[in-house]
Amino acid sequence: MAVYTEVSDEELEAFVAGYDIGNVLSFKGIAEGVENSNYLLRTSEGQFILTLYEKRVNPNDLPFFLGLMEHLAEHGLGCPLPVHDREGRSLGTLAGRPAAVVTFLEGMWVRRPTAHHCGLLGEALARMHLAGADFDIRRPNALSMPSWRPLWEKSRARADEVAPGLAADIEAELDQLEALWPKDLPQGVIHADLFPDNVFFLGGELSGLIDFYFACDDFLAYDVAICLNSWCFEQDLSFNLTKGQALLDGYMRVRPLSSAELAALPIFARGSALRFLLTRLYDWLNVPPGALVKPKDPLEYHRKLRFHRGVTDASGYVFALGGRPYEVSP
């Protein structure tokens, strides 16, 4: 989350007047993330999150994002609910941007996830995948493997400003992943951005998932690989096998991965690392001046990518089994 578009008091009051959520008491920008402008909105009826969708978000995708949150909530998954205005609309316009108000989800994200948190995350991710099976709106992944090379071309000329030799390494990795990318595996709705700051915990339990604005249809196991990357590395960027085991165990207790999906995990993990390396690299080189946002280090995902190159099967992500094919722990 971040703030790119400023909203005047007059604009805000006129916008909120269209909702049955009371009068504005306070309004504060949230300076995290890189995609949209987000504000914590407190009214006489409670707390809400107000999101203004920036130019990088396709307005045609917004019914998918907002509808998905409602669908998942109806299936018992904790997530923010879009608030409808007095005309029954969940999407409006504010300060020249598409805008939505969603309910405030109680809880906090954990800065240093433990194996316990990883296990709960795995279960929640699997429940989300199952709940999304009958969601009737489709959205192809705009950041799937075929999009990586065009994205890379936007940063290639300056990549070595970030690290010497980075351009050649990314080019070679793209060539390999385009040749090795899996096919014919189970697909469905994935979150695609389930980092720790998008998962809330309360009293030691997972209270919900937020920020569905990268959600799309893609390989379900790719979503698992994104979480291995975002949850199971330590601050020194070593991979924590105990966390990896907990995440996979939690997921497979709810939705067992097939042998083909398990075999594809190392490639998906490399792809996930490259995807976030490329988007972070672009953002690092192109952050708008004056935005309340701290660009994320692209080299973090370069180091993760190098780790995954040494993993040959799913047993490389767990602490047990001695190289045998991964099986869920009891």
Give me the tens of pLDDT residue by residue for the chain, a chain 330 residues long: 455 678 999 999 999 999 999 999 999 988 665 578 889 999 999 999 999 998 778 899 999 999 999 999 999 999 999 999 999 999 999 999 999 999 999 999 999 999 999 999 999 999 999 999 999 999 999 999 999 999 999 999 999 999 999 999 999 999 999 999 999 999 999 999 999 999 999 999 999 999 999 999 999 999 999 999 999 999 999 999 999 999 999 999 999 999 999 999 999 999 999 999 999 999 899 876 665 567 889 999 999 999 999 999 999 999 764 334 455 544
Number of domains comprising the chain? 2
Residue 35 lies in a domain: yes
Residue 80, both tokens: 């923010």
| 69 & 164 share domain | no
Residue 328 lies in a domain: no
- Domain final position from 59, 83, 103: 103
Residue 199 lies in a domain: yes
| 224 & 144 share domain | yes
Query: What pLDDT is stored for residue 290 in this prediction?
Result: 67
Q: How far apart are CA 145 and CA 128, in angstroms?
A: 22
Query: What pLDDT is stored for residue 323 in this prediction?
Result: 39
Residue 238 lies in a domain: yes
Q: Which domain holds residue 26?
A: 9-103
Specify burial of residue 48 (Cβ count, 10 A radius: 0-12, 13-18, 19+): buried
| 150 & 130 share domain | yes
| 52 & 137 share domain | no
- Domain final position from 73, 103, 133: 103
Residue 273 lies in a domain: yes
| 218 & 307 share domain | yes
| 276 & 153 share domain | yes
Global pTM reads 0.91
| 215 & 274 share domain | yes
| 178 & 269 share domain | yes
- Domain final position from 76, 103, 130: 103
Q: How far apart are CA 52 and CA 67, in angstroms?
A: 17
Residue 110 lies in a domain: no
- CATH classification at residue 91: 3.30.200.20
| 212 & 139 share domain | yes
| 20 & 124 share domain | no
- Sheet harboring 46-52: ordered strands across? 24-29, 37-43, 46-52, 97-103, 92-94
